[in-house]
Structures are given as C-alpha cells and as structure tokens.
C-alpha cells in the first residue's frame, strides 16, 4: 500500500476533492443550509450523469446500436432512483429550519437548473420560455438551444422504429423538433404491434420498456420534489417567483412518451 504521494496522483487529486468540497459555501451560520447546499450539489452531479448517458443513448440509437443505448438507459433509471431518495434526506429539514436561511437564497431557485432543463429537453419537453432564465449565460443558453432544436430521445426512437420496417407517418419523422411531440394514433398502433409480439420485435419492445422506466422514475422524482416542497414551505411562492407547489403539480400531468402509456389500455 502506497503511503507517500509526493509528486504522485492521489485519490483526492484524481477527484479534485479540494475543488469539490470547497464548493459548499453557506451564506448563513444556520445548521441546515449546509444540508440544503449538499443535497442540491449531489442532485446536480446525478443530473450531469443522466445527461451524459442520455446523449450516449441517443447517439447509439441513431447508429442502430440499440444494445448500447439500452445499457445507458438502464443506468439513467438507476441514477433516477438516487435522485428520488435525495428528497428523503432534504425532508429531514423542517419548515422552521428552512426559514432561518431562506432569505439568503434571494431569487435563486431549482427552477433555474439548466441541467434539469436539459434533461427535460432531451426527453422531449420543448418550451421556449424555459430557455429565458439562461440567456445571461451564453454558453449554457447555446447548449440548451442546440438540444431544443434537435431531436429528443423519443424522436430518435421513432426513427429507429421506422428503420425497423414499420410505416411511421412522415410527419413524425420530418417535423420541427423544437415543438413538442403530439400523440399519434398511428404510432400507438405500431407500438401495439410490438407489444403484442415481443419475441418478434424484441429490440423495439426492450426500447419501449427502457423509455417507460425512465419516464416512470422521472415522474416519481417530480412527485417527491413536489411533496418535499409542500412539506417544507406549504403553498408559499418559490424563491424564483414560481407558484411553488402549484407549478410543480402541473408537471405531473405532462408525459414524454404518450403512445407507450396508451398501449397499456389497448392491450
């Protein structure tokens, strides 16, 4: 076992721990602000990994390498479980605890997380208004805009379905990707064929289930976020000016892959 690291890379050097641990800088002397910062730092790190894996999955779907995409999507689902449980840790903070330092946040809000916004965009949520909070950061805004104008992972999946021999409507393949995908009965019926004969179409069947896993866990994360906010601040407005719990509840009604959910009713 090496004990002398003079001139050699150590564990802390490799992970840049000095930089990472120096990032927690509370603006108050209140006990729970450190908890608040660390939970959000951890969530941002997990979001970074989700983006990394989603982009990898999309590239491989585009290149007909579905197996590699499946592995990445399975990892996304596993990471999402960590995001969900992070709310359990934050929920140990009481309303009184939070109010001791809430004023320190100013207008800062999780609503402004560009990584969360990028995950939503990659999954297919296209709302141009959501790019506005990032205009003051040109590099970040540019990255979001590229993803916004490009295909989502569902668009890449639909393209793979078409290349697999199914008669996918052209308006689903050649469309303005900066708009939200609209429910298609024709696409639902194609997925229905896949689900009725999973052995014949196993690759597409597996893809559909991986996508459903991702959306299922994403909705669980949204729900736990909403309930944590409700538990801590009730129905107060969010620090960034949103309606808080009310805004978060509206997100629970939105879906990324509507045909994959509709198939369940038709089977």
- Cβ(135)–Cβ(266) under 8 Å? no
Can you point out the beta strands (E) in the chain?
A: none
42 is in an annotated binding site: no
Residue 165 three-state SS: coil
Q: DSSP secondary-structure letter at 97?
A: H
36 is in an annotated binding site: yes
| Distance from C-alpha of 39 to C-alpha of 61, rounded to nearest angstrom | 33
202 is in an annotated binding site: no
218 is in an annotated binding site: no
214 is in an annotated binding site: no
181 is in an annotated binding site: no
233 is in an annotated binding site: no
224 is in an annotated binding site: no
| Distance from C-alpha of 252 to C-alpha of 226, rounded to nearest angstrom | 9
| Distance from C-alpha of 265 to C-alpha of 267, rounded to nearest angstrom | 6
129 is in an annotated binding site: no
Record the tokens describing residue 258, joined without a space: 């509507």
- Which one, of 165, 126, 167, lies nearest residue 149 by Cα? 126
Mark the binding-site residues for substrate, compressed into ranges.
36-40, 98, 102, 239
Mark the binding-site residues, compressed into ranges.
36-40, 98, 102, 225, 239
Mark the binding-site residues for heme, compressed into ranges.
225
């Amino acid at each position: 076992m090496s004990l002398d690291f003079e001139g050699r890379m150590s564990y802390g050097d490799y992970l840049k721990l000095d930089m990472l641990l120096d990032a927690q800088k509370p603006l108050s002397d209140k006990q729970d602000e450190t908890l608040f910062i660390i939970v959000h730092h951890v969530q941002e790190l997990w979001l970074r990994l989700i983006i990394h894996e989603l982009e990898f999955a999309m590239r491989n779907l585009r290149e007909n390498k579905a197996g590699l995409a499946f592995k990445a999507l399975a990892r996304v689902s596993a990471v999402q479980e960590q995001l969900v449980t992070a709310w359990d840790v934050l929920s140990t903070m009481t309303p009184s605890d939070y109010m001791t330092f809430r004023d320190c946040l100013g207008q800062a809000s999780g609503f402004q997380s560009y990584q969360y916004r990028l995950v939503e965009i990659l999954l297919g949520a296209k709302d141009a208004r959501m790019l506005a909070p990032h205009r003051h950061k040109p590099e970040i805004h540019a990255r979001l805009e590229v993803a916004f104008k490009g295909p989502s992972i569902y668009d890449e999946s639909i393209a793979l379905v078409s290349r697999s021999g199914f008669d996918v409507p052209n308006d689903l393949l050649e469309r303005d990707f900066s708009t939200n995908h609209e429910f298609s009965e024709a696409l639902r019926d194609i997925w229905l064929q896949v689900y009725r004969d999973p052995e014949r179409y196993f690759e597409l069947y597996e893809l559909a289930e991986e996508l459903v896993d991702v959306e299922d866990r994403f909705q669980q994360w949204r729900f736990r976020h909403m309930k944590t906010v409700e538990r801590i601040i009730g129905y107060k407005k969010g620090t960034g000016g949103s309606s808080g719990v009310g805004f978060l509840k509206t997100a629970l009604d939105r879906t990324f892959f509507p045909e994959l959910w509709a198939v369940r009713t038709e089977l």
